[in-house]
Chains A and B, each alone.
Chain A
Amino acid sequence: MPQAVTVTRRWTGGSDTSAWARSFDAVEVEDHVFETEVTDSPVETGCSISDHAYDRPDKLTITAAVGVLPPPGKELDQYALEGPNRAAAAYAWLQRMRRAHEPFAVQTGLDFFPSMVITALRVKKDSKYENILYFTVDLKQVIWVTTQVVLFPAKPKTKRAVAAKKDDGEKSGSDPDDAIKVKVKKSFLKMALDYVQKGGASE
């Protein structure tokens, strides 16, 4: 088995009432990926222009191992797995964690990552690793966002909305009085004047 870089890394999670923590017998590799995406917009001539940048979720790739039996001569911390077959227990636990899709915290030698989920679990089995669980796990940061709910006041009903269609049946128009006739005549004359001023273009 390759020499481990550490045995003290921990994964922690759960709520206050069901908090848990785990560590593994040996951690061989911790790969950290921090990426920032620069958005590009192609332009018709010249090159793409960049108008924004945002951080992608952090990614971890951890290669670690858990033996069937505790490592000889090594005192396990309180977070190590226990049981008659610790490798099998570790495998079952990792699978549960992967399928739970619940974020948990990971402490590596570099930094603390408070919200990670398992995106891939690779387990290698050959003659060399027969009695240990030698696995590589990919983790990805879950970025939490919240949305705000704003309640708008109910739109007041309009006069039209509350009114049913009114059918007044047969109605007769009335002869306009003199005041109306004068105004109609003025409107008519104004339209005629506008028509003349526009050279009849609108007719």
Chain B
Amino acid sequence: MITLPLTSDPYRTFTTVLGEVRYRITTRWNERASVWTADFIDAETDVPLARSIPIVLGADLLKSFCPKIGRLFAIDMAAELEHGTEAGVDDLGNRIKVVWLAPDEVPE
């Protein structure tokens, strides 16, 4: 389980290792939809694996896009599970944390 090093910079890219794979992750704030999105690109081959995944609460974010990357959860650190508030423009990496789990990992 890894907490992704996200920030609220509205258009940001970085490279990180998840499991044994290096990914280039780009996060963007979508003003019109008021939602953060993330791109996952294989950093070695430059192949896009998933683009514009909405970072929302209460779901495995990668499930519909690219499950082999793993599981991705957005967590509202300021509220209980059922009462979370979606990430605003200044919330990513602060109130909202995004956690990655390996495909076969079960949280303890």
Contacts and interface: CB of A to CB of B under 8 A. Distances in A.
Q: Do A and B come from one complex?
A: yes
B interface secondary structure, majority: strand
A36 to B, nearest CB: 45
A167 B24 CA distance: 10
Interface residues of B, number: 37
B9 A163 contact: yes
A191 interface: yes
Contact of B11 (A166, A173, A181, A186): A166
Given A160-B30, A161-B31, A167-B13, 11 more contacts: A166-B11, A170-B14, A170-B16, A171-B5, A171-B15, A173-B16, A175-B2, A176-B2, A183-B77, A188-B106, A190-B58
30 contacts: A158-B29, A159-B10, A160-B29, A168-B5, A168-B12, A168-B13, A169-B15, A171-B5, A171-B15, A171-B16, A172-B16, A172-B17, A173-B4, A173-B5, A174-B2, A174-B3, A175-B2, A180-B77, A181-B107, A181-B108, A183-B75, A183-B81, A184-B1, A184-B73, A184-B99, A184-B107, A185-B108, A190-B58, A190-B81, A191-B60
Nearest 3 Cβ contacts at the A-B interface = A173-B2, A160-B10, A168-B14
